[in-house]
Amino acid sequence: MQKTITGFSKLSKIEKIDWLVHTYFTDSNSAKTLLKQYWNTDSKLQQLHDEFIENTISNYYLPLGVAPNFLINDTVYTIPMAIEESSVVAAASKAAKFWLDRGGFKAEVISTEKIGQVHFTFEGHPEDLKKLFENVIKTTLIIDSKDLTKNMEKRGGGILDIQLRDKTFLLDHYFQLHATFETVDAMGANFINTCLEQFATTLKREASIHLDGQLNVIMSILSNYVPNCLVRAEVSCKVEELGENGSASPMEFAEKFVQAVRIAEVEPYRAVTHNKGIMNGIDAVVLATGNDFRAVEAGIHAFASKDGRYSSLTHAKIENDMFTFWMEIPLALGTVGGLTKLHPMVKFALELLGEPSAKELMKIVAVAGLAQNFGAVKSLTTTGIQEGHMKMHLMNILNQFEATSEEKTTLVKHFKTHTVTHSSVMKALESHRK
């Protein structure tokens, strides 16, 4: 059957599904039934989901879990996490409980600047452009954007600064307007992009009046690299307080932990996996609160490379018999706009967190990432990562083999004292069934 189609977006939802299942699936009825099983039974709620994006055919669910006992700046939180990976929520909860009795997490927002740029080329004399920018264009950009910024300014935000940057050493004739913004509790993408497009209009107009030489605007867009939208999260305690049931002494544990973090600071192959563990915690909370985890990921990984080599986002030290573990990361988040007032589960997550401001959410998300990394490094340097992870993964393996409730109960009990692997679970299940 022909697999290309014209006018797909104009089809109804049912027509889209009919075309898909008959074109791509051998059992079209089963495929269609599956898609409908994941529709919401509340038609209004389903319509809301259908209108989030284009060409919707069904919903794709992720588990929403919670990690309790997070003591952050003397306030206890239960943190919502939307994620499909086994052991993430368990590790976060375990780390939260560990630090609950050791003073909890401390977090502070260092800065909240966000960035947008107008990229353009100018083929005249650079000095003429620079003089015009300082004497005319910079002020005019602010004036022409007043209608766009007045509501944001009422909330304490707006345009912070606009710079002309000469990038001709990178590309011939390449310049940019580099603007910084404060968007308060909004992530601010739409606000920033609207301002930038106005900047481009003003720039082209003023250049055509005052400058000799062709000026062409290439694009106007915010940047997801926000190195001046920073939050710091930290835990610390006396080394002697790190003791738990185990063979290593508190100092041995602390020294090995610090060394593991230092390896991630200098070895990119380790740093990528190390930071992925941090993002397990961060992405899960970002997704649960309706924020853009792709933008957060891109900005954080760029920040991890800011010194010319990809490195660990977290750091650890032992100083004067004190163990300290911390992280500074860029986080551009919002608690108004976007999905925050539309998606029912996002509203639930934000209410669970006490309706935080954007700054408060930055702290919570950063702490979730730090806790996740603490749990991972602690496991790696003591029992090994697989012992805990595979036991959490056990239920997924049993579901793959369509184990019954009785079989699950028996096998979970069995693997409390046996090593979990895919093959060992398969053998144990086969033995039980015989």
Judging by beta carbons within 10 Å of its beta carbon (0-12, 13-18, 19+), is residue 88 exposed, middle or buried?
buried
Active-site annotation holder among 106, 276, 301, 414: 276
Q: How many helices (H) and strands (E) does the chain have?
A: 16, 10
How far is the C-alpha of 236 from the C-alpha of 223, rounded, in Å? Answer: 34
Active-site annotation holder among 94, 343, 378, 389: 389
Active-site annotation holder among 206, 292, 363, 391: 292
276 is catalytic: yes
Question: 305 is written with which tokens?
Answer: 């490379």
85 is catalytic: yes
Q: At what angle do helices 405-414 and 422-433 cross, to 10 degrees?
A: 120
How far is the C-alpha of 87 from the C-alpha of 280, rounded, in Å? Answer: 10
Return the closest-CA partner of residue 67 out of 95, 86, 85, 93.
93
How many CA within 13 A on the CB side of residue 420? 20
Q: At what angle do helices 422-433 and 385-400 cross, to 10 degrees?
A: 50
292 is catalytic: yes
How far is the C-alpha of 242 from the C-alpha of 118, rounded, in Å? Answer: 51
| Neighbouring C-beta atoms of residue 29, cutoff 10 Å | 9
How far is the C-alpha of 225 from the C-alpha of 332, rounded, in Å? Answer: 9
| Neighbouring C-beta atoms of residue 247, cutoff 10 Å | 7
Active-site annotation holder among 85, 197, 267, 297: 85
22 is catalytic: no
Contacts for 382-389: CB closer than 8 Å, 24+ residues apart: 382/246, 382/248, 382/253, 387/419, 388/87, 388/90, 388/91, 389/86, 389/87
Return the closest-CA partner of residue 288 out of 76, 92, 75.
92
Annotated catalytic residues are 85, 276, 292, 389
